[in-house]
Amino acid sequence: MSQCPVCNDEMILKANVVNLHITGDEKYFRLLSCPNCNKAVLEVSMTVNLDYGRNFLVYFIELSEEEYIDTLKLMEECKNSESENCDCHVHKILDSFEMENISRKVVLVDDYDVWV
């Protein structure tokens, strides 16, 4: 599990959705909240296969209380959250939210395996 960016307590998984990255690789959205300070984040992780190697990336976007509640309700609407092939509106909205808030992301891991 992830640690809270505010108090370093263990965060609790509230919801998750598997999606597809533009490369066709799986991308994981995990909604996490801290039981200690109530901070909430949307964590995004993926392993992307590229022509020259593989990139493992994990980052989060800190959420306001309103964003947390809205995101939790949204993610709970997906009836097939474990399938990257689900094409319900939840996946599209999460992708849009991620792209619109890319400047708010905090990178935790950005590892490359390169082969040429």
Looking at residue 114, what is its pLDDT?
63
**Domain carrying residue 66:** 12-114
Q: Each residue of 97-114: pLDDT tens digit?
A: 988 998 998 888 877 676
Q: How far is 21 from 86, CA to CA, in rounded Å? A: 13
The H or E element that residue 99 is part of is helix 89-100
Fill in the amino acid letter for 8: N
Q: Is residue 7 in some structural domain?
A: no
Q: Are 61 and 37 in contact (CB under 8 A)?
A: no
Q: Each residue of 28-83: pLDDT tens digit?
A: 999 999 999 999 999 999 887 777 777 888 899 999 999 999 999 999 999 888 87
Q: Is residue 41 in some structural domain?
A: yes
Over 60: is that where the pLDDT of 116 sits?
A: no
Q: Is residue 5 in some structural domain?
A: no
The pair of three-digit structure tokens given for residue 54, joined into one six-digit string: 């593989």
